[in-house]
Amino acid sequence: MLLVGDIGGTHTRLAVYTPQAGPRAPLAGATFSSARYPSLEAIAEAFLSQTGMTVTAACFDVAGPVVAGRAKVTNLPWLIDSEQFRQRLGLSFVHLMNDLEAIASGIPILEADDLEVLKEGRPLPGGAIAVIAPGTGLGEGFLVWDGSQYRAQPSEGSHADFAPTDEQQVGLLRYLLARLDHVSYERVCSGIGLPNLYAYLKETGYAEEPDWLARRLAEATDPTPVIVAAALDPEQPSPLCAAALDLFVAILGAEAGNLALKVMATGGVYLGGGIPPHILPALRGERFRQAFLNKGRFRDLLAGVPIYVILNPQAALIGAARCGLSMMADG
């Protein structure tokens, strides 16, 4: 049996798979709060103790770069060493991969119910596929066709310099440059980034912050769900939160278009991560689409690129399981 994990800054999802059942049918699974544990080993041991299962190998996707079998989780104080983990649990192998590499690996076996079509297009057979995933942080990755199958490639493009596209975003960049050493796309387009947009709009006088909203934000351990809920409230949306989410959507659309151009994603763009499924009403509007297409002479090229939202929260697990089971089959 194969132990598979999706290691994020907020949650760690673990599951057990077998070659017979395949990557879409785990035998057992559980979700843990990452910050409550000192290490991945501690979570894995707790999970296996609960299930009573014995595994022989493991494959984990990590929210951060993987170099020589080691990974530092971007938004956690964990250092994961595949060889150290293998020895501690007595496994035949432990494979570490980037979380966006895992999501990308699962895209070829996603089904229609796993996806929401955000923009129709004309995907080219064998065309590269781009993946951008705002969750706690922002992840990016892509798939390339090798002549017989798609191969997933990791990226840390979300830590590239934020490039504003209008005067409001220029003001946002100036605001954050006064407070941060480096302003990347993750700082403005993720769960940790949305509060930065809110603070910028509030402090520059876009709208007043009502007392009820100030109380909710003060009481919340994570302000992002509060901002999203207030922005999308069907009866009384907060103008300040709605503006912050609108700005978020515009930045996400622009960076999705940037990534599509960089990898020539004529096979499509997929939005993963925890945030897109929760902000579908905002993503369906023209703000995202126009920001995606606003690439000057290359607007017509992007017009043919379809865009999908990955609805299945297990997408990274599916991809990591597919990769791990393939490695088991190869011996």
Domain ranges of the chain: 2-98+314-329, 111-311
**CATH dotted code for 2-98+314-329:** 3.30.420.40
Residue 245 CA to residue 239 CA, distance in Å, equals 10
| Block mean pLDDT (10 aa), the chain, length 331 | 90 95 96 92 95 96 89 83 94 94 95 96 96 93 95 92 98 98 97 97 96 96 96 95 98 98 98 96 96 97 97 95 93 70
Q: CB count, 10 Å around CB of 170?
A: 11
- Fold of the domain built from segment(s) 111-311: Hexokinase; domain 1 (3.40.367)
Which residues, in sequence order, are bridge partners of residue 115?
Answer: 310
Which residues, in sequence order, are bridge partners of residue 193?
Answer: none
pLDDT attached to residue 235? 93
Residue 191 CA to residue 23 CA, distance in Å, equals 28
Residue 264 burial (C-beta neighbours within 10 Å; 0-12, 13-18, 19+): middle
Which residues, in sequence order, are bridge partners of residue 271?
Answer: 132, 309
Residue 141 CA to residue 155 CA, distance in Å, equals 5
pTM over 0.85: yes
Residue 173 burial (C-beta neighbours within 10 Å; 0-12, 13-18, 19+): middle
Residue 239 burial (C-beta neighbours within 10 Å; 0-12, 13-18, 19+): middle
In this structure, are residues 39 and 127 in contact, taking their beta carbons and an 8 Å threshold? no
Q: Quick one: residue 147, left, alpha or beta (phi over 0 = left, psi -120 to 50 = alpha)? A: left
CA distances, 81 to each of 41, 67, 188 (Å): 10, 10, 30
Residue 45 CA to residue 207 CA, distance in Å, equals 49
* ∠ Cα 110 193 134 (to 5°): 5
Strands 115-119, 307-310: pairing is: antiparallel
User: What does the radius of gyration of the chain's CA atoms come to, in whole angstroms?
Assistant: 20
Residue 33 CA to residue 130 CA, distance in Å, equals 29
Q: Which residues of 278-308 are buried (b: 16+ CB within 10 A; e: fewer)?
A: ebeebbeeebbbebbbbbeeeeeebeebbbb
* ∠ Cα 200 9 42 (to 5°): 155
**DSSP labels, 67-85:** ETTEEE-TTSS-EEEHHHH
Residue 58 CA to residue 84 CA, distance in Å, equals 12
In this structure, are residues 251 and 291 in contact, taking their beta carbons and an 8 Å threshold? yes
φ, ψ (nearest 5 deg) of residue 16? -115, 135
In this structure, are residues 309 and 118 in contact, taking their beta carbons and an 8 Å threshold? yes
